[in-house]
Chains A and B, each alone.
Chain A
Amino acid sequence: MIAKKNLLGIEFLEPSDIYEILDKAKGFTQQDLSGKSVAQTLDGYNIINIFFENSTRTQTSFEIAGKRLGALVTSINVKDSSIKKGETLFDTALTLNAMKPDLIVIRHPYSGAVQLLSEKIDCSVINAGDGKHEHPTQALLDAMTVLRRKNQLSGLTVTICGDIAHSRVARSNIFLFGKLGNSIRLVGPATLVPDCFKEFGVEVFNNMREGLKGADVVMMLRLQKERMDGGYVPSEREYFHFYGLDEEKLSQAKSDAIILHPGPMNRGVEIDSELADDLSRSAIQEQVEMGVSIRMAVIESLIARVIDK
């Protein structure tokens, strides 16, 4: 069981913590998750999901993960809450804390905000994405997917392509795959892949074909529409030409390389539509499936800390 109170980022995990979570998640993937077949180990425990930023898949994934374990899950839609009425983040934390939940899952548009909230909260906190900082459960589910497809989680070449600068998914994955002894490459235009990332022990490529050579895992990131207006890249079509993943560029990678994407995808911008649907190459749907198992594992581990006491 991981010893930490919170899951704020991959940066703070040891490789053994990561393997432990993956192991636990593997147990869930082997079970039939439909119906009531999962042991309701968290029956009666309260989980609050609070998302200060719109999210469909992550919020739903956390909700289903909690419910499958039998917990009572309350999802707070920030649009309807007092936060919009001027309550400070600090007071929100105190308010939630006073309701004595057993776990809180938080997403926030600002880097570091989840940590700030966690300092005022007694129960465990899971970071479901904070600004451009970390999204640890995404990196864990990516690792889970890679492990299933490749039967290994070290010694691989992992190429991450796209808007690295603004991506919390990229940061968490750089930490995770780095900690487990893989070689990491970042690919994208210089505006979106600053050179200083080299200091994290990764290679930086502005030429996608070179960055893909011999890759085992190709992780595509979403490019936000507002970044395609000329400030970071000249246009959508120029971006797709140089950095969109298609058959031709993918041929540089190993023949059994797998494609990951944290979603939601911009088909035709960062990834060719047919490639995204090619189940022999693309593990995108499997990532979503692993997401639930990983979140079940993390939720159960963190709450178990308290149960064991």
Chain B
Amino acid sequence: MITFKNVHIIDPESNRESLGSLTIDNGIIEKIDGPIKGESIDCKGACLAPGIVDIGPKICEPGERHKESFRTASAAAAAGGVTCLVTRPDTSPPIDTPEILEFFLTRASNSAKVKILPMVTLSKNLCGKEMSELGFMKDLGAIAFSEGLNYFHDTKYFQKTMQYIKALDLFIIGHPQENSLSEGSVATAGAFASKLGLPSVSTVAEKIGLERDLSLASLTKVKYHADQITTEEAVETLKRYKKTNDRISAGTSIHHISLNELDIGPYRTFFKITPPLRSEKDRLAVINGLKDGTIDIIGSFHTPQDEESKRLPYETAAPGAIGLETILCSALRLTKDKIFNLPTLFKFLSLNPANLIGAPFGRIREGSPADLVLFDPDEPFLIDRFKLKSKSKNTPFDEQTMQGRVLMTYVNGEEVFRRYN
């Protein structure tokens, strides 16, 4: 039994942001603002919030353990205040059979100290056509179905897959994108991409893909979550569909709300992500989408890439950025800029994603799992990518000063991270 005292409790569910105390016991939040029981930790006014539930990070097992393993991903997550990973299935091979899923789950339970909940692929080998064995994988513990950062090519098969999944009572995490437009592109169409001479895609590709997915989702009545909304057009489209369909939701990536295309500068490949970074106008539109409730979730889309895959000309470099360890400090910039208060921020980081997967954590409530992050919202620090815990070091925030640092992380009442200064 541990009591955190003199702590700012940040709860997105009750919109609380005030001093108090919190006692955890047997893996759950036992009492809020009760008497001090068990070991007491004086938090000196630091913030205690529900641990981050990250929808869409990639752990590179199976296949690319040299880029990231369960052990390193979970260490990075714990250090970043992330207590649950809902992982992408676009590994190599992809998680598209019950056997691969079993391997995944065994590795996860042996090596990870944070919660790992797997997405599995919709189609066999990410072919964008024939269905994977969705029912078997649901029974083994798949939490959602997704093609990762790939596009489901065949619209007819996609419709059938949605119908099948609707009956399984699970949901789809889609990557909205009109592939024939975006294929081969590495930047967002506009003056910046033209100046660098990079193959680019118009922002309407995301809107067209989203229109297709949401039309089918409305038709089949399946629960559908769009992984990343990154453009103004897509925010508008989503807003329109949400008026008539309450089974749809959407996320965005921390990188798309923290950075814009100009950050790519002189072909810096650590800024090459999928979808590509957008204009400042789009970045602000996405933040507004979060503000008005059109977008529900902020995720890291943690995508480890080794040095070799990034040390290439921009067009051929691998896309993706790591983000588990930096999602909280980069998201805190939004509170520093007075765009959101802390409870609202944790709605996007913890509560909404937990609700999406129907989990009891993601909130500070008596009886809920004690998945918690204790952080100092003001402590400044300099990011040194080589000190990050991920095996791959491809962060776009290298050498940037951040404010807000994780002090301790708990999963089911167990300490999984503590910062010793």
Chain A interface residues toward B at CB < 8 A: 11, 88-90, 108, 110-113, 115-116, 130-134, 165, 168, 171, 194, 196-197, 199-200
Contacts and interface: CB of A to CB of B under 8 A. Distances in A.
Contact of A168 (B190, B197, B267, B314): B197
30 contacts: A88-B308, A89-B312, A108-B313, A110-B314, A110-B315, A111-B197, A111-B198, A111-B315, A112-B198, A112-B313, A115-B267, A116-B267, A116-B311, A130-B197, A131-B313, A132-B198, A133-B196, A165-B194, A168-B197, A171-B197, A194-B189, A196-B189, A196-B190, A196-B191, A197-B191, A197-B194, A199-B190, A199-B191, A200-B191, A200-B195
Interface of B: 189-191, 194-198, 266-267, 308, 311-316
A110 B316 contact: yes
B195 to A, nearest CB: 7
A108 B267 CA distance: 14
B194 A111 contact: no
A130 B315 CA distance: 12
Contacts of B312: 88-90, 116
Interface of B is mostly: loop
A223 to B, nearest CB: 17
Contacts of B308: 88, 90
Please give me the 4 A-B residue pairs with the lowest Cβ-Cβ distance, nearest first. A132-B197, A112-B267, A110-B313, A199-B191
A290 to B, nearest CB: 24
A108 B312 CA distance: 12
Given A88-B308, A112-B267, A116-B267, A196 B194 contact: yes
B196 A111 contact: yes
Contacts of A196: 189-191, 194
A120 B197 CA distance: 22
In this complex, the member of B191, B195, B267, B316 whose beta carbon has the largest number of chain A beta carbons within 10 angstroms is: B195
Nearest to B267: A112
Given A88-B308, A116-B313, A133-B196, A111 B267 contact: yes
B266 A115 contact: yes
B223 to A, nearest CB: 38
B262 to A, nearest CB: 13
Contacts of B266: 112, 115
Contacts of A88: 308, 311-312
Nearest to A130: B197
Nearest to A52: B313
Given A132-B197, A133-B196, A171-B197, A111 B314 contact: yes
